[in-house]
A and B are shown apart, each in its own frame.
Chain A
């Protein structure tokens, strides 16, 4: 039992989850790079632990969104057929893809996250009924009853329609695959799928994405768990640290301007991407002599 390692893991999870909470960003993407780069932990063990942390953060954060009726649970369960299928495929691939390629794919996802962090999200919802005449409009999915209303403000109830469902499903399959392969929540892929393909209001897409992430990660984690790749001494402190960090993060009011924090996050993402790229080539910048 290495108390030092466990405390370090706990601190890493607490810190990233705290910081992530301030920007409303999932912190799962930081856990695997930090564990493999600085902790020299095997990437499969790191991915397993990260998946548990992703589940914990998703489940822990879901209740307020559900109470405010921002989560579209019908749409979520439908899209989960795609994300869990993708996760199943990712689980297969994780066992086949060489570690160096895993590092490469991870670096790409980190770069994508950095780019997304820099560009702002655009609201592009279609009010229900407005596009009923177009072929990809509301009518096509009427039988599924996915369209819903959400409280934009406590007084204003806004109705929205789900658009381009097949494209959304395809993107969700990819998000699920990447989630199981890299041990991340894949919010970086789910959010664009929901914003630009399904055309959901930002609040609804954030809440629904968070809601789905837990099930998607569970589909991946179930296989890692059965394979014995979830190491308790690593996953337990990571999970606990993430939950505590998320709880504290929601309460602490940050005094740092949001814009500066955002740029700092972009910087960290780029650094980690660079490091993962180097690691793929067998060059370790930190803790090399181990």
Chain B
């Protein structure tokens, strides 16, 4: 029970920025795609699709960032845990693609 300056730790700050700006970019890409398809531009749907793919990749990038952080701090137990999460997501994609 001690007073601590409320500064976020580096990992938390990095993850916060990644998710914040990632959401921003993916949303903008989807908005652009929808705007184009309202103007019956054939590229609109494809661009919106890229935005959707960005949203799926964003949490994966978040786990990847954590993996890099754990490796750098030589926390190999948690590096393995983060790698396992990444591996399961990849398996899910491969299973779906078959």
In the complex, what distance in Å separates the CA atom of A107 from the CA atom of B25? 35
The residues in A between 78 and 128 inclusive whose CB is less than 8 angstroms from any CB of B are 78, 80-81, 84-85, 87-88, 91-92
Question: Residue A151 at the B interface, CB < 8 A?
Answer: yes
Name the 10 nearest CB pairs between A and B, nearest first.
Answer: A223-B96, A226-B96, A226-B97, A66-B16, A236-B48, A222-B93, A214-B59, A63-B16, A218-B59, A63-B20
Interface residues on B, range: 35 or more
Most buried by B among A3, A149, A159, A225: A225
Report the interface size for chain A: residues with CB under 8 A from the other chain.
62
Chain A residues contacting B76 (CB-CB under 8 Å) are: none
The answer to whether A88 touches B30 (Cβ under 8 A) is no
A contact residues around B34 at 8 Å (CB): 6, 236-237, 240
Cα A176 to Cα B90 with chains together (Å): 16
Q: Residues of B contacting A144 with CB < 8 Å?
A: 77
Task: Compute how far the CA of A38 lies from the CA of B63 in the bound complex, rounded to whole angstroms.
Answer: 36
| Known A149-B4, A230-B52; 11 more pairs at CB < 8 Å | A1-B37, A6-B38, A56-B26, A63-B20, A87-B88, A88-B88, A156-B1, A215-B62, A239-B30, A240-B27, A240-B31
Specify which chain A residues have a CB less than 8 angstroms from the CB of B38 in the assembled complex: 1, 3, 6
A28 at interface, CB cutoff 8 A: no
Please name all residues of chain B whose beta carbon is closer than 8 Å to the beta carbon of A73 when the two chains form the complex.
11-12, 15, 66
- Contact check: which of A69, A236, A239 meets B12 at CB < 8 Å? A69
Given A63-B19, A237-B34, do A55 and B55 touch, yes or no (CB 8 Å)? yes
CB pair B8–A84 under 8 Å, yes or no, is: no
List residues of chain A with CB under 8 Å of any chain B CB: 1, 3, 6, 52, 55-56, 58-60, 62-64, 66-69, 71, 73-74, 77-78, 80-81, 84-85, 87-88, 91-92, 143-144, 149, 151, 154-159, 214-215, 217-227, 230, 232-233, 235-237, 239-240, 243-244
Chain B residues with a Cβ under 8 A of chain A: 1-4, 6, 8-9, 11-13, 15-17, 19-20, 22-23, 26-27, 30-31, 33-34, 37-38, 40, 45, 48-49, 51-53, 55-56, 58-60, 62-63, 66, 77-78, 81-82, 84-85, 88-97
- Contact yes or no, A59 B78, CB < 8 A: no
A52 to B77, CA, bound (A): 31
Write out the residue numbers on chain B whose beta carbons fall within 8 Å of the beta carbon of A56: 23, 26-27, 55
Interchain CB contact under 8 A, B8 and A239: no
CB of A71 within 8 A of CB of B85, answer no
Contact A157-B1, Cβ < 8 Å, known A81-B84, A218-B89, A222-B56:
yes
Residues of A within 8 A of B55 (CB): 52, 55-56, 59, 221, 239
| A81 lies within 8 A of B85 (CB) | yes
Contact B15 A66 (CB under 8 A): yes
Q: Tell which of B9, B26, B60, B95 touches A223, judged by Cβ atoms closer than 8 Å.
A: B95
- Beta-carbon contact of A91 and B95 below 8 Å: yes
Do B12 and A67 have beta carbons less than 8 Å apart? Answer: yes
CA of A236 to CA of B47, assembled, Å: 10
Contacts of A88 in B (CB 8 A): 88, 91-92, 95
Nearest chain B residue, comparing its CB with the CB of A53: B55
Alpha-carbon distance A64/B13, docked complex (angstroms): 10
Q: Which residue of A lies closest to B60 (CB)?
A: A218
